[in-house]
Amino acid sequence: MTNQTMFKKFNRWLASFFDGINGQPINYEDHDVVVGDQRYKVVRGRRLDINQLLQIERQIYGGEPWDRQSFEIDMGRPNTLYLLLVDQNSQEMIAFIGASFNDYARDVHITNIGVIPKYQMHGLGTFLLHEVENQARQRQLLSMSLEVRRSNVTAQRLYTSLGFIKTQVREHYYHDDGEDAFNMLKKLN
């Protein structure tokens, strides 16, 4: 076999490997939902929404843990799904979740989630996590994973109540302040 033939075979194998990791693009239909007694619309996030995502981050954190470029890169991947929750009354975007589906590892990784403060503690984060979980189950994935700040005890309680367990500590994980993160995992089988 010539080097050129071997190189072509390797390139085909490499392309199929990354197709397995990236999987098929995610289809998602926008729809209306009721959470608690409030009506919302769940829509697929697009790059046009990044300014609003940055505004939500500022309301939650007082800054932007993810900058525009981070959102652009994450949203540009074919295997990433962003869901936005819009209040039907005010038409305001109030929450979002980002998730990366890895068909090769059979895992969906929650990359980002946020609910503006005045809407927190109303089940919206739980709803968004369930939406992603439903997508993962449709793809026959086996787990969900995420990182959470060591200091974010409220989020840890939520994730634990939904079946996530702490699997490891990632020391100095967050670039802004060097805080540790817990890696958390939920088995879906």
- Residue in 64, 92, 147, 179 annotated catalytic: 147
Judge contact between 182 and 147, C-beta under 8 A.
yes
- Residue in 40, 82, 119, 159 annotated catalytic: 159
Helix axes 68-75, 50-61, angle to 10 degrees: 130
The CA distance from 100 to 121, in Å, is 25
- The verdict on whether 174 is a catalytic residue reads no
111-133: b or e for each residue (b if 16 or more CB lie within 10 Å)? bbbbbbeebeebebbebbbebbb
- The verdict on whether 92 is a catalytic residue reads no
Which active-site residues does the annotation give?
Answer: 147, 159
